[in-house]
Amino acid sequence: MANLTLRGVTQPAGLFEGEDGALRCSWCAASPVYRDYHDHEWGFPVTDDRRLFEKLCLEGFQAGLSWLTILNKRAAFRRGFADFDVDRVAAFDAADVERLLGDAGIVRHRGKIESTINNARRALELRHEFGSLAGFVWGFEPPAETRPPRLTWDVLRATTTSAQSLALSKELKRRGWTFVGPTTIYAFMQAMGIVNDHIDGCHVRALAGAMRARVALPGR
């Protein structure tokens, strides 16, 4: 992406200036919904198991689609999947699969619906072993010394996986999870703040970093 000129001012590559004058990652320019998600959710560290499970599931549903499509359907997904309560979803049966296939508010893909139920059961196994889903996934956070103090657009757009997303994907698959490829898992890690991929100059990057410095991680 080349530098953009808005209102006579050249914006750094990968950033755009919002109506409030703040610079944001350019991927969220498409709609106010996207900008709100960028400003208040994406990249902020999450240790709540329900939210982590929800994001893992929705990233699987996103395959082949845009995240904005899924974000616009998120309320319907939450209604259909019992607010992504792991215990309740793990108890879903064939009747629930058919119910969800008839729900026009979500992405009606049998394989992804069945995957979500399967993954809820696998999440219960992780919770039993590690105490929480958070305690497991945050164990794949990149070491501090490998995290770039600055992140440019060129680096971000060239990065779709990492050593940690490859490792987490491999381990989840070994444990029976589905729709958890390394690219899907890297997007999950970005969104949940396990990596901070707001690019340098985005007004949210420092906020997300400060929150990560304060958050207490399970088992640490």
Q: Which residues are catalytic?
A: 37, 59, 67
CB 174 within 8 A of CB 20: no
Among the listed residues 119, 128, 114, the one whose alpha carbon sits nearest the alpha carbon of residue 176: 119
Q: Which residue type is seen at 53?
A: F
Q: Which residues contact 30 (CB under 8 A, 6 or more apart)?
A: 68
Q: Which residues contact 122 (CB under 8 A, 6 or more apart)?
A: 172, 175, 176, 177
Cα separation of 9 and 103, whole Å? 46
Distances, alpha carbon 70 to alpha carbons 63, 92, 155, in Å: 10, 22, 25
